[in-house]
Amino acid sequence: MPDTTFDVIVIGAGPAGYPCAIRAAQNGLKVACIDEWKNRDGTHAYGGTCLNAGCIPSKALLESSELYHRAQTEFAAHGISVGQVAFDVATMQKRKAKIVKASTQGVASLFKAAGVTAIQGHGRLLAGNKVEVTAFDGKKSEIVAKHVVLASGSVPMELRSVPFDGKDVVDSWGALDFGAVPKRLGVIGAGVIGLELGSVWRRLGAEVVVLEAMEQFLWMADQQVAKEALKHFKKQGLDIRLGAKVGGMERGKDGITLKYEDASGAKAVSVDKVVVAIGRRPFTKELLGEGTGVELDERGFVKVDHECRTGAGNVWAIGDVVRGPMLAHKGKEEGVMVADLIAGLVSEVNYKVIPSVIYTAPEIAWVGQTEEDVKKTGRPYKVGTFPFMASGRARAMEATAGFCKVISATDDDEILGVHIVGPMAGELIAEAVLALEYSASTEDIQRTIHAHPTLSEALHEAALHADGRAIDMPNK
């Protein structure tokens, strides 16, 4: 490692760290990025949890399992006969691994093209903006920079009463690597990760029980959307039990018994495998040395201001290791912002318009305020909805579940929130994000021409419906 002095050192090459490093290099700065991710086979890879054990591999398995499910349930309606449909988990896993490898190698190539010095090992911030690098062979060295960006990410939270064993009780990464379909799968947590992973293995034939401690399903989402989604998940066979607080487990000849309590008292359920998906926590293990001036809050997050500056001079922190939603795209935008601020450019992240997506079927996506949020403010509002059942494109796709919902202020017509449950919701939400970014009105969406027939017309019609002017549905 000949270079020891840089303009910027980024610790972590996940979805926050690697965009930060690349943008800083694009801005003409001398940049190093340190990353310690190791795969189960001991090989190093860039991209963090997202590319290696989260966003990308989960979407690969979601796609494979959905195609299998559609072949079983939908193809006949199209006049397509495929005989007895079968699947091969090993092939699905090989495909997933290939996609992951292409993604992580892509980051390495991007570093090379941008001129970022990529360093494999553990990075630890020391006083004076020095960074100690511990290589995989244990050797230590020091490098220094004018600016240091902490992007160490997050790790799964563990339930003390149901500890991970890496085989039968696993985290999200372990649930992505099952070599066979469990007969009975218990999922603790009905959040994004729990629902997505539960959907994968349910489609492939597992009996899936989801235990959620909250009484309210998807409390963070608009509740009209949450209720619609829950209805479809139950139709798919996901056994979602709300208000179920897991207190422990017992191992036996027939598998694992999860013990929990709900409103009616103590209960138990027997499963073969358990996925604990109760959330993630910031990863700061051996990240900070003595005298750095960087502080953690009561939840373990690195304290930062709205521009991701820590309390230490020229030390920044971004992504899952700081406050805000643990979303890859949120981290990416923070990384780009910080790289631009370091270069003296004007940049910001609009935290009010960060979209959320759950890649189940139907997909769920939203941006802005929920109807519950708006009610609490007391601001007068109006709501427009449009069911995908009334969409010609959705009917042609055999994907009519769900609806699009637009919430707008009645005083100035500003769009306050958009919520979608239905086909390709994760793609459709982008238009809504753009609308909120520019403080668009309901009328702006109404006057925007949407191609026909498209799923995006649902957003157009929902905006029209907010004013009782929908064309393709009755205005009740």
Amino acid at the residue 316: W
Q: How far apart are CA 348 and CA 333, in angstroms?
A: 8
Strands annotated E in 193-347: 207-212, 239-242, 245-252, 255-262, 265-271, 273-276, 280-282, 315-317
Q: In three state form, how does the secondary structure of 306-333 look?
A: CCCECCCCCEEECHHHCCCCCCHHHHHH
- Alpha helical stretches, state H, 46-179: 48-53, 55-73, 89-114, 172-176
Residue whose entry in the numeric block shows the structure tokens 């160490």: 152
Neighbours of 115 (CB within 10 A): 13
Q: Which of 69, 329, 452, 460 is catalytic?
A: 452
Residues contacting 58, CB < 8 A, separation 6+: 172, 176, 193, 196, 197, 200, 359
- Alpha helical stretches, state H, 115-222: 172-176, 192-203
Question: Which SS3 state, helix, strand or coil, does residue 239 take?
Answer: strand
Taking a C-beta distance cutoff of 8 angstroms, is the pair 197, 175 a contact?
yes
- Alpha carbon of residue 12 to chain centroid: 18
Q: Which two tokens stand for residue 364?
A: 């769920």
Q: How far apart are CA 68 and CA 85, in angstroms?
A: 8
Is 95 exposed, middle or buried, given 0-12, 13-18 or 19+ CB atoms closer than 10 A? middle
Taking a C-beta distance cutoff of 8 angstroms, is the pair 56, 103 a contact?
yes
H or E element, residue 135: none
Q: Which residues pair with 9 in a beta bridge?
A: 32, 148
Catalytic annotation on 122? no
Residue in 404, 334, 320, 335 with CA at minimum distance from that of residue 367: 404
Amino acid at the residue 355: P
Taking a C-beta distance cutoff of 8 angstroms, is the pair 402, 429 a contact?
no
Q: Which two tokens stand for residue 342?
A: 């370091």
Q: How far apart are CA 202 and CA 188, in angstroms?
A: 15
What residues are labeled active site?
Answer: 452
